Amino acid sequence: MMEPMTLKPYNLLRSFSILSLLSIVAISAISATLLARFLRENLLQRDAVVTMQFVQSIAQAQNTGIYFAERDDAKRKGPLTDFLTRIAHMPDVVRANVYSRQRTILWSNEEHLIGKHFTDDNPELDRALAGELALETGQVKHPVKTEHILFAPEVDEFVENYIPIRDPRGGAVVGVVEIYKLPRVLMQTIAKGNRLVWLSALLGGLFLYGALFWIVRRASLTIQRQQQALVEAEKWAVIGELTAAVAHSLRNPLAVIRSSAELAQEEGGAPVGEYMAEIIARVDHLEKWVRELLIYSYQPGDAQQMTPVTEVLRNSLDSFARRAQSQAVTVDVALPEPSPWVRGDPNLLAQALNSLIANALEAMPNGGRLRISGERRGALFALQLSDTGVGIPPEKLVEVFKPLITDKRNGLGVGLALARRIVQRCGGQLELRSQQGRGATALLQLPMTR
């Protein structure tokens, strides 16, 4: 026969951790790249606009535009030289060229370029001749134009601005001023801005990932707790249905058996009385099992009921006094007076305390010490029960509060589960700590009433 296929549980946290990390890294990298590019392009464009406005204002003030069409070099040279000398001395300028509409260099601060005609593809020059401001950046070690090869060796990355110059009489473009700049301060600002953009993207991505991871981790833990609660609720829903049938089927016959045993004990001799006592004890034990199941499925109607917890505890200790004495167990009690009042049903709290005391006595069959102490901790009352028994192994300690799990021969596995459920219904908490061979400690924290 084929074995049934088992589905592995879906690990929400691991899947989210991987997918969210990849998504956030990709989004952060793309965003940082786009922002860095936007910052660079806008700062360079802004610098080019300011340079164009400055150059055109000088050209307009000196009427330089009328000399671009002058055919006589002697008449043209003086005004252009004065105009372009000022431009060449602008900050960060390493070369200034003046183009005619025929793409010939009319003037340059590098005299060996004057008169050269560049016919290679230069879309920036074409745009400037059409009346637009053109901008280009590049590196000399990777030249894309013939004129770039003529740079001095110390020139590395440059910014190239093509500024149209118009005729003041008609407004037509008569030439283009080409300015090569090494804007070191601007480039440093851009680099600093890029670092800031990438740092912001990194920190933002880490913060977003950490926040989402924390939220999903809490959600995953909540889902796990809800799943465990759902499994426990389904388990006890079935047990609750069976409990009613068990109660009706067993309690009446058990009552008849106990009554008959009591009559036989009164009428019989000593041997019969011992046997009847044993029967009565077993009947009481079965009755206790049924009662635990009934209480576990019980839903209290008044969660705000007030209970004097120390009085309930002393009554529970009185019921176990004979057993403790027979097992040579010393009980030390240190409780505050007057008794603090806590929220909860006294009968349910008594059942929880009975389960804890019974477990402590079962752990000390050959004698020991049971220490019970209580103290106020803010709005809570902390009750601690410590025994010197055999303790609980670590692998079993994690399962002590799971219903129907027990290693006791006569146990049902609902005592501690019942005790925790009762305490939680009262708005408190129950913890169990133990080291094998060093006993166990139960800590109840119950909300006090004002």
User: How many residues are given for the chain?
Assistant: 450
What is the CB-side half-sphere exposure of residue 103 using CA atoms within 13 A? 13
Q: Looking at domain 301-447, does it have CATH number 3.30.565.10?
A: yes
Check residue 122 and give its pLDDT. 81
The better pLDDT of the pair 68, 416 is held by 416
Check residue 202 and give its pLDDT. 92
Check residue 410 and give its pLDDT. 57
SS3 content of the chain, % helix, strand, coil (to 5): 55, 20, 25
Tell me the pLDDT band of 301, cut-offs 50, 70 and 90.
very low
Check residue 356 and give its pLDDT. 87
Euclidean distance between CA atoms 386 and 13, whole angstroms:
38
Asked if the model's pLDDT at residue 99 lies above 50, the reply is: yes
* Percentage of the chain exceeding pLDDT 90: 5
The stretch 239-253 carries a mean pLDDT of 65
At 382, list the tokens: 């902390």
The stretch 122-136 carries a mean pLDDT of 86
Check residue 150 and give its pLDDT. 46
Which residue carries 């080409």 as its tokens?
178
Check residue 330 and give its pLDDT. 86
pTM for this predicted structure: 0.51
Tell me the pLDDT band of 298, cut-offs 50, 70 and 90.
low
Tell which residue, 176, 179, 167, has the closest CA to residue 47. Answer: 179
Tell me the pLDDT band of 291, cut-offs 50, 70 and 90.
low
**DSSP per-residue letters across 312-363:** HHHHHHHHTHHHHHHTTEEEEEE--SSPPEEES-HHHHHHHHHHHHHHHHHT
Asked if the model's pLDDT at residue 258 lies above 50, the reply is: yes
The better pLDDT of the pair 381, 255 is held by 381
Residues 144 and 138: beta-carbon distance below 8 Å: yes
- Of 41-55, 157-171, 184-198, the poorest mean pLDDT is in 157-171
Q: Is 166 in a helix, a strand, or coil?
A: strand
Neighbours of 61 (CB within 10 A): 9
| Domain locations in the chain as residue ranges | 12-196, 301-447
CATH number for the domain whose boundaries are 12-196: 3.30.450.20
Q: What residue type is 439 in one-letter code?
A: G
Which residue carries 């596995």 as its tokens?
413
Check residue 55 and give its pLDDT. 84
Which residue carries 């440059």 as its tokens?
158
Q: Inter-axis angle of helices 346-362 and 415-425, to 10 degrees?
A: 150
The stretch 314-339 carries a mean pLDDT of 84
Tell which residue, 112, 86, 84, has the closest CA to residue 97. Answer: 84
- Of 68-82, 136-150, 326-340, the poorest mean pLDDT is in 136-150
The stretch 46-73 carries a mean pLDDT of 78
Asked if the model's pLDDT at residue 418 lies above 80, the reply is: no
Residue 263: is it exposed, middle or buried by C-beta count within 10 angstroms (0-12/13-18/19+)? Answer: exposed
Euclidean distance between CA atoms 117 and 126, whole angstroms:
14
* Average pLDDT score over the chain: 78
Give the CA distances from residue 346 to residues 125, 373, 444, in Å, rounded to whole numbers and listed in that order.
95, 19, 15
Tell me the pLDDT band of 239, cut-offs 50, 70 and 90.
low
Q: Are strands 329-334 and 368-377 parallel, antiparallel or unpaired?
A: parallel
- 130 phi, psi to nearest 5 deg: -85, 0
